[in-house]
Structure 1
Amino acid sequence: MPVTLQDKLVVAISSRALFDLDDSHAVYEQEGVEAYRRFQIDHEDEVLGKGEAYAMVEKLLRINQQLDNHKVEVVLVSRNSADTGLRVFNSIQHYGLNITRAAFSGGRTPHNYLRAFNCQLFLSTHADDVRLALQAGFAAATIIPGGPKNRADGPLLLAFDGDAVLFSDESEQVFQREGLAAFQNSEQQAARKPLGGGPFKPFLTVLNQLQKEFSPEECPIRTALVTARSAPAHERVIRTLREWDIRLDESLFLGGLSKAEFLQAFGADLFFDDQQGHCEAASGVVSTGHVPHGISNQR
């Protein structure tokens, strides 16, 4: 039978999201492609430091050790060439990460390969690549530098904003057009009408299926909704997740409070939000991915 990734959770990640490539990227920006190529070749035996999304990747791959069949695949999807990407693979080998598949696009956007890999999530530091991936229908986020590097032990902890991430931005549009009172009233009126799915709904669906492989006590994945919503706008969210048959381990309805302290308390390995301001505040305490989707990113 041909090899397939159809039955797996597949996460695509760029080399700069996985590893700390700040030094070589500075060479690229200041001196150009050829200087960058030489720099990477000259340093290809030097192990790269861990990047913002490293802990998430290590925890994802460790899940395979608890299952009879490998259910998780991480693929490297990079603008590097294979020549300059050798240093990245050397570092992957050094850390013992079971990443064997890669697409090196040689300077072009690599998002075209996501469908061929059957990816559910794409993480990158290149904002344009992330936008193209979202437009193509994939969950994707731009990794923001600054978060503390989480330890790779313990469960995988993922936190999600609601509107424009897990859900469509239909409610956010009402809020931005008409204000909080109109938003609250609209959500009360539509409390039993499920929200449309946002870009991260398919990823969360597959992630939830993976969680069901384990008992609640032994599951190595915990998820949290961290939203600025509060009562009475909470009901529509709860009923929507129930309609989707998706379970979140924790739900935080913050009523406009800053999310950073709550994310730190949860211990998120990665937090996804559509609003740049929320991402910048959160990135000081946890690794954060900006999801450039919905009305907040159209201004």
Structure 2
Amino acid sequence: MAVDLSELLVIGVSTRALFDLEVENDLFQSQGIAAFRAYQLEKEEELLAPGTAFYLVKSLLELNTIANKKIVEVVVMSRNSAETGFRVLNSIEQHQLDITRVAFTGGEPLSPYIEAYDIDLFLSKDSAEVQRVIDSKKCAAAYLYAPPTDFNSKDTRVKIAFDADAVLFSEESEYRYKTEGLDAFQDYEKAHENDALNEGPFAKLLMKLSKIQEHLPTPIEYSPLRLAIVTARSAPSHKRVIKTLRKWGVYVDEVYFLGGLAKDKVLEAFGAHIFFDDQDTHLESASLVVPSGKVLYETDSPLNQLQKTTIITKS
């Protein structure tokens, strides 16, 4: 009988996102597949160090023990062959990660296999692969920045932080802010305070995480899976966010309305295992203190077109 993963939180993570494989990737890019294969075979028994997504994956898998049943599944996905990926299998075992599903595509794109594995969130350090997944609209996806140099969370809880607009919510409000200015944005949000914001690319993931909390044997206020929103919004645009979450039936533990302040200090205090945002201006500083992922715009989205126009104008 086929296994049904629809009730689980399923994370698809590339090998470079899970482990530090930058030396190996540089070797592949500079010397080709033959040199890369030889290096991997030579280092087959050498343990790989954690990558950007490692502590998130490790902590999420530990929720299965707390729940006393499987509520999280992780699928390691790689364009390696089984031969060159054997070192990854050894490292998964040595790090004692409860991962049983692996996809080695032998150079073929990973995105066609997202639906086959029922992936809810795809994490990768290949921006082109992330873009393909985002354009397919099959699941949430993020391009991961390099990990902080000294991040090693001792918190036994899983902590996930999200930006609001163009991440959890649609890009409509973000586009209005960028094209019409702050005053027009604030006026519109206040006037539509009671209208739920449209779903963004990470809305379904947030809803799945909220459902996962229900399987944990603790009151939701003390859940070992802790969710936060860290947004540049402020009064009077803040109430629409809270009312939208209520209408979605989603419980978020912490919300920070920063009114344009930098996000890195709040994220460091929160201790996020991962932070998702759509803007490099926030991610560049945040990624120095917590693992961070960029939510790319869909190729044909208004924000992506606006971004391209801005780059051309500046150049």
TM-score (normalised: structure 1): 0.97
Q: 2:159 is matched with which residue?
A: 157
Does residue 251 in structure 1 map to residue 252 in structure 2?
A: no
Counterparts of 1:295 and 1:20, CA distance in 2: 35
SS at match of 2:60: helix
> Is the 1:150–1:269 Cα contact (8 Å) retained in structure 2?
no
1:199 to 198, 201, 209: 201
Superposition misfits of 4+ residues, deviation over 3 angstroms: 294-298
1:166-213 Cα shifts (integer Å, max 9, x gaps): 000100111011100010011111111111101111111111001122
Distance apart, 1:149 and its partner CA: 2.5
Counterparts of 1:70 and 1:15, CA distance in 2: 22
Q: 1:125 is matched with which residue?
A: 125
Counterpart residue identity of residue 12, structure 2: A
Map 1:32-181 to 2 at 5 A: 32-137=32-137, 138-147=139-148, 148-151=150-153, 153-181=155-183
Does residue 228 in structure 1 map to residue 244 in structure 2?
A: no
SS at match of 1:50: coil
TM-score (normalised: structure 2): 0.92
Distance apart, 1:146 and its partner CA: 3.9
Map 1:183-222 to 2 at 5 A: 183-214=185-216, 215-216=219-220, 218-222=222-226
Q: 1:268 is matched with which residue?
A: 272
Counterparts of 2:184 and 2:84, CA distance in 1: 53
Counterparts of 2:304 and 2:78, CA distance in 1: 25
Counterpart residue identity of residue 99, structure 2: I
> Is the 1:158–1:270 Cα contact (8 Å) retained in structure 2?
yes
> Is the 1:274–1:296 Cα contact (8 Å) retained in structure 2?
no
> Is the 2:51–2:147 Cα contact (8 Å) retained in structure 1?
no
Distance apart, 1:68 and its partner CA: 3.2
> Is the 1:52–1:149 Cα contact (8 Å) retained in structure 2?
no
Gaps of 5+ in 2: 308-315
SS at match of 1:115: coil
Work out the number of aligned pairs and report it.
299
Counterparts of 1:124 and 1:152, CA distance in 2: 24
SS at match of 1:194: coil
Counterparts of 2:256 and 2:75, CA distance in 1: 32
> Is the 2:75–2:101 Cα contact (8 Å) retained in structure 1?
yes
1:113-138 Cα shifts (integer Å, max 9, x gaps): 11111110000000011111111111
- Cα RMSD between the aligned structures? 1.3
